[in-house]
């Protein structure tokens, strides 16, 4: 039996009033507009929130450019990873090859008679950008710098660095060696996220090896109280580059600036970008209860399943728009059992509204099943199939009469 729902004039007036009310609700939100990014005297730049992963400001962020010594961030990432996995030890002495000895540029002044430890090489790379230390470490870990570069490229792909290709461990100018401001910001955030216990190396202002003390070239460490890293770079082709990081309260930004005109300029431009972030944005961590959703399940031993975020949720929003932040679930309905625990079933969109009533999705998160639901008996599955058919036919009847399609709400 098909039920036909007819709508008279009062019902139509009620539907119209509800529609007007729904349209008016966003107008009550007075969220700040997304702040306009500052203009820097640089070839390219990108800044991301290290917790949320959101891009806060960018210009030519995907342009493939020579990264100079910013490359060494990837060299250190692989070293930190090997230490974490137990494949490398800080106390292990390392041989210095002729290639490492003769590389030139920024060095630890190593020579083949020396046997620095892995820990000393890491300090030398992080603090004063030793090219010789990079080559010695790469050869120790993989046998050759070229093989180490293959590992670098594999890790870049894994981290989502889509505009990078590494040929060496140092960033020494060579054909086919490039990266981008966006990729280096991603890498800087990954170093902080994946190796928090090692990240403090980037805050060292100097390091002493073999009686020589050399300073860290990152001027941000002296000129911005919130700064705690991360790496400088310079060649004639690349210009002066810097990936800088800073944290204030729960907000941590990583800014990558490529192609400035001087050592002083790269620090100044990066500081401008970081200050812009702190002045205009705030990072929020919503409670899980704000994000969890219960949705209907068919053909299962349970009628509903809770969905939760797959990982911790952080959201970066313009200051003043915090009250307009909301979360909306998207999923393919109807959901049918069996459902395994942890299976991705939908997506939560973080949405902010502006004073003109426009809602913008600023970031999305995968939602997974909080529990497993087994498939129901044959009879129960047939009954649910009938329920779905009746629901579908009822929706079609309403659409035929009113000209409007109605669907059950997806969130609760």
Q: Which of 52, 72, 155, 245 is catalytic?
A: 72
Q: Which of 52, 97, 106, 129 is catalytic?
A: 129
β-pair type (44-49, 251-260) = antiparallel
CA distance 263 to 218: 9
Token pair in block for residue 23: 């349209």
Helix, strand, or coil (residue 62): coil
CA distance 141 to 250: 36
Does residue 69 carry a catalytic annotation?
yes
In 93-105, which positions are buried (b, 16+ CB within 10 angstroms) versus exposed (e)? ebebbeebbebeb
Q: Which of 52, 58, 69, 245 is catalytic?
A: 69
Rg (CA), the chain: 28
Does residue 129 carry a catalytic annotation?
yes
Token pair in block for residue 283: 């990072």
Of 379, 370, 368, which is closest to residue 301 (Cα–Cα)?
Answer: 379
Of 377, 387, 310, which is closest to residue 338 (Cα–Cα)?
Answer: 377
Of 56, 61, 217, 64, which is closest to residue 130 (Cα–Cα)?
Answer: 217
CA angle 55, 57, 58 (to 5 degrees): 95
Helix, strand, or coil (residue 120): helix
- A 10 A CB-CB count for 40 gives 23
Q: What is the DSSP-derived secondary structure letter of residue 357?
A: S
CA distance 38 to 214: 33
CA angle 217, 220, 224 (to 5 degrees): 155
Q: What residues are annotated to the active site? A: 69, 72, 129
């Amino acid at each position: 039996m098909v039920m036909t729902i007819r709508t008279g004039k009062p019902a139509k007036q009620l539907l119209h009033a509800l529609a007007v009310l729904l349209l008016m609700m966003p107008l009550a939100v007075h969220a700040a507009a997304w702040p306009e990014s500052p203009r820097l005297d640089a070839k390219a730049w990108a800044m991301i929130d290290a917790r949320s992963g959101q891009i806060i400001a960018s210009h030519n962020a995907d342009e493939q450019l020579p990264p100079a010594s910013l490359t060494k961030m990837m060299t250190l990432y692989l070293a930190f990873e090997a230490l974490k996995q137990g494949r490398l030890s800080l106390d292990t002495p390392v041989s210095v090859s002729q290639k490492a000895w003769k590389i030139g540029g920024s060095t630890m002044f190593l020579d083949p008679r020396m046997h620095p430890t892995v820990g000393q090489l890491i300090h030398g790379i992080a603090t004063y950008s030793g090219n010789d230390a990079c080559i010695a470490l790469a050869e120790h870990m993989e046998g050759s710098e070229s093989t180490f570069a293959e590992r670098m490229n594999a890790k870049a792909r894994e981290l989502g660095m889509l505009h990078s290709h590494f040929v060496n461990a140092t960033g020494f100018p060579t054909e086919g060696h490039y990266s981008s401001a966006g990729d280096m910001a991603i890498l800087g955030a990954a170093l902080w996220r994946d190796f928090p216990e090692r990240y403090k190396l980037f805050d060292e202002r100097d390091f002493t090896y073999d009686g020589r003390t050399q300073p860290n070239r990152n001027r941000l460490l002296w000129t911005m109280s919130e700064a705690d890293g991360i790496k400088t770079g310079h060649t004639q082709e690349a210009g002066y580059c810097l990936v800088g990081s800073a944290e204030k309260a729960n907000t941590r930004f990583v800014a990558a600036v490529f192609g400035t005109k001087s050592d002083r300029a790269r620090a100044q431009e990066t500081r401008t970008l970081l200050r812009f972030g702190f002045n205009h944005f705030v990072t929020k961590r919503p409670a899980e209860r704000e994000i969890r959703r219960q949705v209907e399940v068919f053909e299962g031993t349970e009628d509903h399943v809770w969905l939760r975020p797959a990982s911790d949720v952080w959201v970066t929003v313009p200051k003043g728009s915090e009250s307009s932040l909301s979360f909306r679930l998207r999923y393919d309905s109807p959901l049918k059992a069996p459902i395994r625990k942890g299976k991705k079933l939908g997506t939560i969109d973080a949405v902010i509204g502006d004073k003109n009533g426009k809602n913008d999705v600023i970031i999305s998160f995968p939602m997974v099943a909080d529990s497993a639901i087994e498939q129901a008996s044959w009879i129960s599955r047939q009954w649910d199939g009938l329920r779905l058919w009746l629901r579908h036919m009822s929706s079609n009847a309403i659409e035929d009469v009113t000209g409007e399609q109605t669907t059950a709400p997806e969130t609760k």
